[in-house]
A and B are shown apart, each in its own frame.
Chain A
């Protein structure tokens, strides 16, 4: 068999990480993703014991997390399981639901900062959203420089930006440029 070398969404062998003052942007390469949709009339399951969040929400438990994407639809995340068949594992947890593998469709950049205000200052430059849409435990989809992205506020100090994988370089460029231009007091 051909000897294949896996590369990240940004084309390197290892995940990219860069510091911009208090902000750190890190490419996440081990996050498994699968979408979950309910069929008509179906009740929401609790995959891996996780209660699926309401509109605009993000919930996590024991390494798995889910965020709301549309009525009756969620994206389920699992840390460190990108190389597994996570969609099959989710299918077993949510019988009858429509599950689609999404891991290879997206790139995730985790932006962390000791100061929550610097994450908010960065997003004020990049997206036109009410800051309440970026409070802890929320996830929002919006446009960022004509790219469609999910913004997931995992904690006060962490905000994930998830965009289409083919646009990974453009998205990194946008985030890195805005982060580098952020005033140091932000």
Chain B
């Protein structure tokens, strides 16, 4: 399986390690009144879609960047990859 690294081009998936759902980047605010319930969902609950899924991959044997990879869990087709840093910064820019 090849992962299209946004800076380095196609790289063997063996260079990467998988972390999980990209929604982990949206950590709840611990000062909110409903923080306990929000953290319960954040830590324990995951969607398990048959289809397009956004997930975090770490380029461990590479440039050590975190990527958000969009993958179809049914076909294993990789639809795209972005630097997690860019995703986070653009999300903060929108808030």
Contacts and interface: CB of A to CB of B under 8 A. Distances in A.
Interface of A: 55-56, 68-71, 128-130, 132-133, 140-143, 148
Interface string B7-51: 111111011000000000000000000000000000000000000
Interface of B: 7-12, 14-15, 60-65, 83, 85
Given A141-B63, A148-B61, A130 B9 contact: yes
Contacts, number: 40
A71 to B, nearest CB: 7
8 contacts: A56-B9, A71-B7, A71-B65, A71-B83, A129-B12, A133-B9, A142-B62, A143-B61
A64 to B, nearest CB: 22
Contacts of B62: 141-142
Contacts of A142: 11-12, 15, 61-62
A56 B59 CA distance: 14
B10 A130 contact: yes
B7 A56 contact: yes
Contacts of B12: 128-129, 142-143
List the 6 closest pairs (A to B, CB-CB), nearest first: A143-B61, A55-B7, A70-B63, A128-B12, A148-B61, A141-B62
Contacts of A148: 60-61
Contact of A141 (B7, B10, B61, B85): B61
Contacts of A130: 9-10
A141 B62 CA distance: 5
Nearest to A55: B7
A141 B7 CA distance: 13
A55 B62 CA distance: 11
Contacts of B64: 70
Nearest to B60: A148
Contacts of A132: 9
A148 to B, nearest CB: 5
A71 B66 CA distance: 11
B65 A140 contact: no
